[in-house]
Chain A
Amino acid sequence: MPPDADVQGTIRNLIRRLRFDHGEMTQQELAVRVGVTRQTIIALEAGKYVPSLLLAFRLARAFGVSVEGVFQYHDGEPSSSAVKVQDGK
């Protein structure tokens, strides 16, 4: 087990802002574009769900940005809209 295996971090995303920056794209439009249900977009925006790498790339491509342009990893205390992740799990 690596020494930092218990380090907790959070993943935040800019999906909501990117949607509005792209002509006020609706959640449904984005969902259809990336091949998920609207509920999944809602969960993503609410920070309740961390997508797979494949979906992360699809989202990034839908907005024409890199994955880091959509998702950011932060060390330390989580905010209410960020999803907690634990390294190695």
Chain B
Amino acid sequence: MNASQKEAWFNLVVVLSALVMVAALVPFLGKGAMGGFGLLGFLGLSPVFFRKRHGAVVVDERDTQIRLRSQFCAHLVFWLLFLLAAMTAPAVYGWNGSVPVALVMASVWCGWVVLVGVMSLATLIQYGRGGHDAA
């Protein structure tokens, strides 16, 4: 498993943990449960996986290509969901309705979760297709 795969797994675990935390806190804290998204701060630790050791190559051209494709997938899914949410909002809140402030805040967190989650999944899928470690 290379650095990019480790980072993808780490990010996926952090994102899923944040979602589980928020879901678990909702019954007790209501809108305050969004504080559970604070776990996403752990994503800032991911550069640790890219530390250089003894001049070994950590990231090469294939990793870069995979990262770019993953980013493209993540942004595509994000914008599709954003469009879907924007188009369905009038149906839920009415043309002259107002969107709750908490929902706007939650959508920012969810957008981040979608971006990181889809990017991590796309990364892992692409590495899975790239051949397994030989003996």
Interface centre among A37, A38, A46, A49 (most CB of B within 10 A): A37
Interface of chain B, main secondary structure: loop
Q: Across the interface, which residues of A come within 8 angstroms of B130, CB to CB?
A: 39, 42-43, 46, 48-49
Per a CB cutoff under 8 Å, which of B56, B61, B63 touches A51?
B61
Chain B positions within 8 Å of A31 at CB level: 57
Interface of A is mostly: helix
A35 close to chain B: CB less than 8 A: yes
Whether, in the assembled complex, B88 has its beta carbon less than 8 Å from a beta carbon of chain A, the answer is: no
**Residue A32 lies at the interface, judged by CB distance under 8 Å to chain B:** yes
Cross-chain contact of B60 among A37, A42, A45, A46 (Cβ < 8 A): A37
Q: How far is the CA of A55 from the CA of B2 in the complex (A)?
A: 19
| Residues 55-95 of chain B, each 1 if its beta carbon lies under 8 Å from chain A, else 0 | 01111111100000000000000000000000000000000
Q: Assess whether A36 is interfacial by the CB under 8 Å rule.
A: yes
B129 close to A (CB within 8 Å): yes
Measured CA separation A54–B60 after assembly (Å):
12
Q: Given A43-B62, A49-B62, check contact A37 B131 (CB 8 Å).
A: no
In Å, the complex CA distance between A38 and B58 comes to 10
Q: Which residue on B lies nearest to A52, using beta carbons?
A: B61
Complex Cα–Cα for A43 and B60 (A): 13
Tell whether, in the assembled complex, residue A36 and residue B134 are in contact, meaning their CB atoms are under 8 Å apart: no
Give every chain A residue within 8 A of B62 (Cβ-Cβ).
Answer: 36-37, 39-40, 43, 49, 51
**Most chain A beta-carbon contacts within 10 A, residue among B57, B62, B129, B133:** B62
Bound complex: CA A31 to CA B56 (Å): 9
Q: Tell me, in angstroms, the Cα distance from A27 to B61 when the chains sit together.
A: 17
Q: List 6 extra interface pairs beyond A40-B63, A52-B61, CB under 8 A.
A: A31-B57, A36-B62, A37-B57, A37-B58, A43-B130, A46-B131
Interface residues of A (CB under 8 A from B): 27, 31-32, 35-40, 42-43, 45-46, 48-49, 51-52, 54-55
User: B interface vs A, CB < 8 Å?
Assistant: 2, 56-63, 127, 129-134
Enumerate 21 A-B pairs (CB-CB under 8 Å) in ascending A order: A27-B134, A32-B56, A32-B57, A36-B57, A37-B57, A37-B58, A37-B62, A37-B63, A38-B2, A40-B61, A42-B130, A42-B132, A45-B131, A45-B134, A46-B130, A46-B131, A48-B129, A48-B131, A49-B62, A49-B130, A54-B61
